[in-house]
């Protein structure tokens, strides 16, 4: 009986930090990484005249997931690696073990997530930019 009570207490302590806050799943994280890469893709399209057909994110590995608060809403800082496959008209480009460091925030209604981009070092306003992740 004592073991059962101690086990229950331990479970409450271990899950107490994010109790009630759902965590983003791997598909959501992949979508957020793809959104964060869109601006880079646009610059490559313009500067190198590349035509990206498709972007694949494979072998997503999460190394760290940290619960935090940004502007009074729960958010996660998620770090890890993934394999990138860019499909061009005549060839594929593969980049294994790319590092990622993203911020995802659960919105007030608890149904949608937003990708957060932290203020840049030259950004005087200190405002987080956000994009809806579907």
Is residue 67, in this structure, part of any structural domain at all? yes
Is residue 51, in this structure, part of any structural domain at all? yes
What is the dihedral sign for C-alpha 70, 73, 79, 83?
Answer: negative
- Closest CA relative to residue 15, chosen from 58, 67, 55, 60: 67
Residue carrying the six token digits 């035509």: 51
How confident is residue 123, by pLDDT bands cut at 50, 70 and 90?
low
Is residue 6, in this structure, part of any structural domain at all? no
Q: Which domain holds residue 30?
A: 23-133
Is residue 18, in this structure, part of any structural domain at all? no
pTM of this prediction? 0.75
Is residue 11, in this structure, part of any structural domain at all? no
Outline where the chain has alpha helix (H). Answer: 2-15, 26-48
Is residue 116, in this structure, part of any structural domain at all? yes
Tokens of 48: 């190198």
Question: How many domains does the chain fold into?
Answer: 1
Is residue 91, in this structure, part of any structural domain at all? yes
| Per-residue burial over 60-69, b = 16 or more CB atoms within 10 Å of its CB, e = otherwise | beeeeeeeee
The DSSP bridge pattern shows strands 54-70 and 73-87 to be antiparallel
- Give tens-digit pLDDT for 48-103: 777 777 889 999 999 999 999 998 899 999 999 999 998 888 888 899 999 999 99
Residue 13, pLDDT > 60, answer no
Is residue 14, in this structure, part of any structural domain at all? no
């Amino acid at each position: 009986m004592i073991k059962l009570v101690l086990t229950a207490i331990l479970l409450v302590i271990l899950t107490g930090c994010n109790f009630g806050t759902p965590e983003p799943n791997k598909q959501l994280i992949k979508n957020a990484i793809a959104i964060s890469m869109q601006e880079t893709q646009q610059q490559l399209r313009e500067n190198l005249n590349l035509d990206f057909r498709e972007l694949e994110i494979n072998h997503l590995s999460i190394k760290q997931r940290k619960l935090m608060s940004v502007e009074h809403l729960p958010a996660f800082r998620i770090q890890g690696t993934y394999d990138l496959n860019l499909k061009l008209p005549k060839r594929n480009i593969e980049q294994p073990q790319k590092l990622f460091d993203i911020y995802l925030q659960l919105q007030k209604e608890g149904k949608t997530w937003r990708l957060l981009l932290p203020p840049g070092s030259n950004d005087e306003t200190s405002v987080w930019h956000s994009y809806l992740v579907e």
